[in-house]
């Protein structure tokens, strides 16, 4: 698998919506996968990362990420490789400091996200260059919706504010209806209690979904029920452009009439 071409990156930038959603049962691997993708999106695009940890799983994963890159520094064969591993370790440690942990932090998270959206929209309205600003990872979307049903509704402005969201959930109803129309792409794991997912009227049978704990990740773009596949076991350090390209504020074309 070769690195993403510029054409693939450009196509990813044209994707609608700002939310990358991973749906599946408990223990399927969605927290690890979506948090990893969100961190790659932020790291490789030079923007900030923030996360909400509903139950402690995310902090456990971040600690493992730090351990992996600390080991990478020790085992690096070149100074360049060691430098990259050190940068990734520093980034992972910074992510821990940007972590909101548990329901008691949800009010603060909500205020912080609204502030980020407001700042981004003010920058756009003042004529500043439109560019991605930050990545937000929400583990267990349903826990957030239980706290505040309007949280996800506010995310409909995220794209034009330069904010990209990654999130895990068990069912699509974990998201407010206005957020469902703002989904950028989906990663689906095999459901344990249904024969298919119904995604905004498009039925995706369980046979097309990612097997539990599989290294072959099935993702879906737009309303197409045919999965694209990222074989992360075979290509662990190469990410499909669609999975880590941040949402870009809409750019108007310069046209006459």
Backbone Cα Rg of the chain? 18
Is the residue at 38 inside a domain? yes
Integer Cα distance of 97 and 50 in angstroms: 9
Tens digit of pLDDT for each residue in 168-177? 999 999 988 8
Residue 162 pLDDT class (50, 70, 90 cuts): confident
Is the residue at 60 inside a domain? yes
220-234 average pLDDT score: 90
131-148 average pLDDT score: 90
224-245 average pLDDT score: 91
Q: In what order do the strands lie in the sheet containing 99-101?
A: 99-101, 48-53, 134-138, 163-169, 19-23, 183-188, 216-221, 228-231
Please tell me the predicted confidence (pLDDT) of residue 241: 92
Is the residue at 252 inside a domain? no
Integer Cα distance of 35 and 51 in angstroms: 9
Give me the CATH number covering residue 198: 3.40.50.300
Is the residue at 255 inside a domain? no
Is the residue at 191 inside a domain? yes
Please tell me the predicted confidence (pLDDT) of residue 146: 87
Tens digit of pLDDT for each residue in 141-159? 998 888 888 788 777 788 8
Q: Which residue segment(s) compose the domain that 60 sits in? A: 6-244
Structure tokens at 162: 């330069």
Query: Other CB atoms closer than 10 Å to residue 102's CB: what's the count?
Result: 12
pTM passes above 0.75? yes
């Amino acid at each position: 698998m070769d690195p993403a071409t510029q054409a693939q990156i450009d196509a990813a930038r044209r994707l609608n919506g700002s939310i990358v959603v991973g749906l599946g049962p408990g223990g399927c691997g969605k927290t690890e996968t979506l948090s990893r993708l969100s961190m790659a999106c932020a790291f490789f695009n030079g923007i900030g990362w923030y996360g909400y940890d509903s139950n402690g799983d995310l902090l456990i994963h971040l600690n493992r990420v730090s351990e992996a890159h600390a080991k990478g520094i020790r085992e690096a064969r070149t100074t360049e490789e060691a430098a990259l591993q050190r940068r990734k370790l520093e980034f992972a440690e910074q992510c821990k400091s940007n972590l909101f942990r548990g329901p008691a932090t949800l009010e603060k998270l909500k205020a912080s996200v609204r502030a980020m959206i407001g700042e981004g929209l003010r920058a756009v309205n003042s004529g500043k260059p439109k560019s991605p600003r930050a990545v937000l990872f929400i583990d267990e979307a349903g826990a957030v919706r239980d706290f505040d049903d309007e949280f996800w509704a506010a995310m409909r402005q995220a794209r034009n504010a330069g904010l990209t969201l990654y999130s895990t959930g068990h069912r699509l109803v974990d998201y407010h209806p206005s957020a469902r129309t703002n989904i950028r792409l989906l990663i689906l794991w095999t459901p344990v209690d249904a024969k298919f997912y119904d995604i905004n009227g498009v039925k995706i049978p369980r046979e097309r979904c990612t097997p539990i704990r599989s290294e072959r990740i099935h993702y879906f773009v737009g309303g197409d029920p045919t999965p694209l596949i990222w074989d992360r076991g075979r290509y662990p350090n190469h990410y499909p452009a669609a999975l880590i390209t941040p949402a870009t504020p809409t750019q108007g074309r310069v046209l006459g009439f």
